[in-house]
Amino acid sequence: MLNNDKKFINCIQHYHNKASDTDLIWFPFKFLRPLKNEEITVALTLKLTLCFTLYTFLLYVIKVWITSQSFHPHDSLMFFLFTCCAFFIHFNTVTRFFWNRRAKKIHSNGENTQ
């Protein structure tokens, strides 16, 4: 059973890191993407959270403006806070976990990759 769990986690890691290696996932913050052999720190997840939350909120405001919906400050604040929490949780529990697993493996194998 444990061996199957490890295979499953390795499979998820493979596909998550494959997606994370594409430029599109990091748009427009490609400059924040670490090298494959660099670990993602909590400080970086905070930067990612701030950048992606502000970007998503900007898209939300543009959508409200284009569709001529009324702008409600309370709803907008709730959207912003929910988005911020969602990105922070995702970056710390999923992205950081799988990225750092790979970075540690690269270090243990003595590989030097970008």
**Res 3: pLDDT:** 82
Report d(CA 92, CA 84) in Å as an integer.
Answer: 12
| Residue numbers of the domain that contains 30 | 2-109
27 within some domain: yes
Give the model's pLDDT for residue 46. Answer: 97
28 occurs within a structural domain? yes
- Number of structural domains, the chain? 1
| Residue 31 is assigned to a structural domain of this protein | yes
Look at residue 114 and tell me if it is in a domain. no
As given in the structure block, the two tokens for residue 18 are 């494959």
Q: What is the mean pLDDT of each run of 10 residues along the chain (114 residues)?
A: 82 92 93 95 97 96 90 92 98 96 90 59
Please tell me the predicted confidence (pLDDT) of residue 112.
61
Position 76 in a domain: yes
- Per the domain annotation, does 46 fall within a domain? yes
Domain contains 47: yes
Q: Residue 5: CA atoms inside 13 Å, Cβ hemisphere, count?
A: 2
